[in-house]
Structure 1
Amino acid sequence: MALASFTFFALAIIAVASAVGVLIARSPIYSALSLILNLLCVAGLYLTMNASFIGVIQILVYAGAIMVLVLFVIMLLNLDALPSPRDIGWGPVAGFLFGVVVLMQLLYVILVGFDISLEPATPVMTAETGSAETLGIMLFTEYALHLQVAAILLLAATIGAVMLAQRSFE
C-alpha cells in the first residue's frame, strides 16, 4: 500500500510541476511538451486509482492524438516565443490567485453546509464502475441523450471548422 501511495503522490507532484511548466514556458513547443507530460501523469493517477480504462483512454486520446494535432497547429502557425514574464502585468495574476482562494473557501463552505463527505473509493467500487463494460452500459442507457447531444454538437463544430477552413483557402 505504501508503494501505491508513494506513486500517487509522486505522479501528482510531477503533474502539478508540469502544469506550471505549461504556464511559464516561453516557447509554445516546450509548453506543449509539458502538457503531454501532465496528461501522462494524469493517466498514471487514473491507473493508481484502479481506473484502467480511463487511464488508457487518457493516454491514447489526449496524450496521443490531441497533442499531435496541437503540435501540428503550433508548427503550422510558426509561433515565436512568448513575451517575457517581466512584460506581464502582475495585477491580473494576483486577482486570479485571490479568486482561487475565494473559490476554495466557497467550496469548503458548501461541503460543510451540505454535509458532503469526500470519502476515497474502495478498490471494489472502482472495479465495478471503472471498467469499460460498465462505462459503456451507463453511456448507452442512462446517458444516451447526453451522448447524442454531445455527438451533434461535435458534428456541428466539425462542419463549421471545415467551412471556415475552406473559406480561408479560397
Structure 2
Amino acid sequence: MSIFYFVAFLSIFFALMTIFAKNPVHSVLYLVITFFTFTIHYILLNAQFLAIVNFIVYMGAIMVLFLFVLMLLNLNKDTEPLKSNLVKVMGVIAGMCLLVTLAGSFRVLQATGVDIVENTEIGLVGNLGKVLFSEFLLPFEISSILLLTAMVGAVLLAKNDPKNA
C-alpha cells in the first residue's frame, strides 16, 4: 500500500507542476511524467491493458504531438496575450468547484468504505479479449468500420484536387 500512496503523491505533485510551470515545454514534460505515474497505478490495480494503452497512446503519441506543436508555435512572452482579471476569477471559481467535488467524493468514500475486489482476473488482457470477441463482437466490428470510413473520408478531404485549384 505504501507504493500506491507514494505514486499517488507523485501523480498529484507532477500534475500541479504541469499547471504551475511557466515554460510550456516543461509543462508538457511534467504531463508525460504524470501519465507515467498513471501507468504505474494501472499496473498496481491489475489493469495491464489500460497500462499499455496509456503508455503507448498517451505518453508515446499524444504527448510527442503536443511537444512538436509547442516547438512549431514558438511561444514567446511577447506574443502571449495578457489575461484579464475576469479569466483569473473564473479560474479560481472553477478550482473551488473542483475542491468541493473532491471533498464530497472523499466524504462519500469514508461513509461507505472501499471494498476490495475479490476477482483478480478483471483487468487482464486475455479476459478482455474473450469478452471483446464474444459478447461485444458486433459493436467492435461496427466501430472498426466507422474508423475505416473516417480515415478514407479524411484522406479524400485532404487530397488536393487539381480541377478545383
Q: State the secondary structure of the residue aligned to 2:46.
A: coil
Could you say which residue in structure 2 is the equivalent of 1:135?
128
Deviations 1:98-150 (A, max 9, x none): 322454577689x69xx97642324xx23x11111111122233334544555
Q: Which has the larger radius of gyration?
A: 2
Q: Kindly state the Cα deviation for residue 162 of structure 1 after the two structures are TM-superposed.
A: 7.9
Which deviates more from structure 2 when the two are superposed, residues 38-47 or residues 85-94?
85-94
Q: State the secondary structure of the residue aligned to 1:66.
A: helix
Could you say which residue in structure 2 is the equivalent of 1:43?
39
- CA distance in structure 2 between the aligned counterparts of 1:137 and 1:26, rounded to whole angstroms: 46
Q: Is 1:92 equivalent to 2:90 in the alignment?
A: yes
- CA distance in structure 2 between the aligned counterparts of 1:16 and 1:165, rounded to whole angstroms: 44
Aligned-residue CA RMSD (Å): 3.7
With normalisation by structure 1, the TM-score equals: 0.69
One-letter amino acid of the structure 2 residue matched with residue 31 of structure 1: S
Q: Kindly state the Cα deviation for residue 164 of structure 1 after the two structures are TM-superposed.
A: 6.1
Compared CA separation, residues 165 and 135, structure 1 to 2 (3 A): same
Deviations 1:63-94 (A, max 9, x none): 12222222122222223359699866431122
Identical residues among aligned pairs (%)? 26
The count of residues paired between Structure 1 and Structure 2 equals 158
Could you say which residue in structure 2 is the equivalent of 1:14?
10
Residue 32 of structure 1, aligned match among 28, 35, 44: 28
| Unmatched tracts of structure 1, length 5 or more | none
- How do 1:1-170 residues align onto structure 2 when only pairs under 5 Å count? 5-80=1-76, 89-104=87-102, 118-122=114-118, 125-126=119-120, 128-148=121-141, 150-151=143-144, 152=146, 156=150, 159-160=153-154, 163=157
Is the CA contact (8 Å cut-off) linking 2:18 and 2:28 kept in structure 1? yes
Compared CA separation, residues 164 and 116, structure 1 to 2 (3 A): farther
With normalisation by structure 2, the TM-score equals: 0.71
Is the CA contact (8 Å cut-off) linking 1:21 and 1:34 kept in structure 2? yes
Which deviates more from structure 2 when the two are superposed, residues 83-92 or residues 51-60?
83-92
